[in-house]
């Protein structure tokens, strides 16, 4: 399928126009015209080869929304004309314990990324959503409701699910206290989801000027962390804390905010490994 996109041909090179071929439809494939593709910060990291060796040429993009234009002969989940979303992976082994549990993103053999990856044949480069067309197996795409703002839906395919997943896994909701570290591209979605799920939500931020935004998005409380002693009054009070900050920081003061059996989930990727005081975890049966 003739496709036009934007490619990075080598690390740190600029995007440029690129014509290439998508595969022809397999029996369970759907083809889509792409309406929106979000620019995820991971696209930038990978195009710059900042997260290890990358595969070039690279067509980035894994926050994709479009409309189905063709369906394979065995497709049952989508019809031509329906809205469709594609996220960070497009295939998996389909036979391991994770895949059988509907957790293909944790495929034991490794999921196939939407880009910067090889397809299951081990030789075909997977090209992402910075393009006008896409082809994907129906099992790795999602339906998008007609009444949503599609430009806002695209970032939900990565940034959104990255926050929604831990909130659901650790059962955020009424009666739970959730902390969100950072109010950037990831953090603000965590605040919105946590509030929508009914949890008491607190934002931790170095930037006091973000308080009004945090409250508008649903935060119940806002704690400025420039002076780390401000955290002391919140010790042993949170069920769940989501760290969306990618900067290198000391997690110790935040781990102390967790109550018995509380969990801190690392979502932002730091530049170097964390140093952790195991005693802080053991003392209150906390998890990281």
pLDDT digits (tens, 9 = 90+) for 212-255: 999 999 999 999 998 888 899 999 999 999 999 988 899 999 99
SS3 229: helix
Rg (CA), the chain: 21
User: What's the CATH superfamily of 2-156?
Assistant: Medium-chain alcohol dehydrogenases, catalytic domain (3.90.180.10)
pLDDT computed for residue 75 by the predictor: 99
SS3 95: coil
- Map out the domains of the chain as residue ranges: 2-156, 160-283
In terms of Cα–Cα distance, which of 280, 159, 186, 198 is closest to 242? 186
What element of type H or E holds 213? helix 211-216
One pLDDT digit (tens) per residue for the chain, 288 residues: 999 999 999 999 999 999 999 999 999 999 999 999 999 999 999 999 998 999 999 999 999 999 999 999 999 999 999 999 999 999 999 999 999 999 999 999 999 999 999 999 999 999 999 999 999 999 999 999 999 999 999 999 999 999 999 999 999 999 999 999 999 999 999 999 999 999 999 999 999 999 999 999 999 999 999 888 889 999 999 999 999 998 889 999 999 999 999 999 999 888 788 999 999 999 999 999
pLDDT computed for residue 4 by the predictor: 99
Where do we find the tokens 């075909």?
A: 124
pLDDT computed for residue 270 by the predictor: 83
What's the CA gap between 122 and 135, in Å, rounded?
A: 18
Q: What angle do CA 112, 118, 122 make, to 5 degrees?
A: 110
169 torsion bin: left (phi>0), alpha (psi -120 to 50), beta (else) = alpha
What element of type H or E holds 168? helix 159-169
Query: First CA to last CA across the chain, in angstroms?
Result: 45
For 229-241, b/e burial (b = at least 16 CB within 10 A) is eebeebeeebbbb
pLDDT computed for residue 230 by the predictor: 86
SS3 197: helix
What's the CA gap between 249 and 230, in Å, rounded?
A: 16
What's the CA gap between 197 and 239, in Å, rounded?
A: 14
What's the CA gap between 285 and 80, in Å, rounded?
A: 51
pLDDT computed for residue 228 by the predictor: 84
Q: Determine the CATH number of domain 160-283.
A: 3.40.50.720
The reported pTM is 0.91
């Amino acid at each position: 399928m003739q496709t036009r996109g934007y490619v990075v041909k080598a690390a740190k090179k600029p995007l440029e126009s690129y014509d290439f071929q998508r595969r022809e439809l397999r029996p369970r494939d759907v083809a889509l015209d792409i309406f929106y593709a979000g620019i995820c910060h991971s696209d930038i990291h990978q195009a710059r080869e900042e997260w290890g060796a990358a595969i070039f040429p690279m067509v980035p993009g894994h926050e994709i929304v479009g409309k189905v234009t063709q369906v394979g002969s065995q497709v049952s989940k989508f019809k031509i004309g329906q809205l469709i979303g594609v996220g960070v992976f497009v295939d998996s082994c389909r036979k391991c314990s994770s895949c059988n549990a509907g957790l293909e993103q944790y495929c034991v053999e490794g999921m196939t990324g939407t880009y910067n990856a090889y397809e299951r044949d081990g030789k075909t480069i997977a090209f992402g959503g910075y393009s006008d067309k896409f082809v994907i197996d129906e099992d790795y795409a999602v339906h998008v409701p007609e009444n949503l703002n599609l430009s806002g839906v695209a970032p939900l395919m990565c940034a959104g699910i990255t926050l929604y997943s831990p909130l659901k896994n650790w059962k955020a909701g009424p009666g739970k206290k959730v902390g969100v570290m950072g109010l950037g591209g990831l953090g603000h979605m965590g605040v919105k989801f946590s509030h929508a799920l009914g949890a008491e939500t607190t934002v931790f931020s170095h930037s006091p000027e973000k308080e009004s935004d945090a409250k508008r998005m649903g935060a119940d409380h806002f704690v400025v962390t420039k002076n780390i002693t401000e955290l002391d009054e919140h010790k042993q009070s949170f069920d769940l804390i989501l760290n969306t900050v990618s900067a290198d920081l000391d997690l110790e003061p935040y781990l102390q905010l967790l109550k018995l059996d509380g969990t801190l989930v690392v979502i932002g990727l730091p530049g170097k490994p964390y140093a952790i005081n195991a005693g802080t975890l053991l003392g209150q049966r906390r998890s990281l």
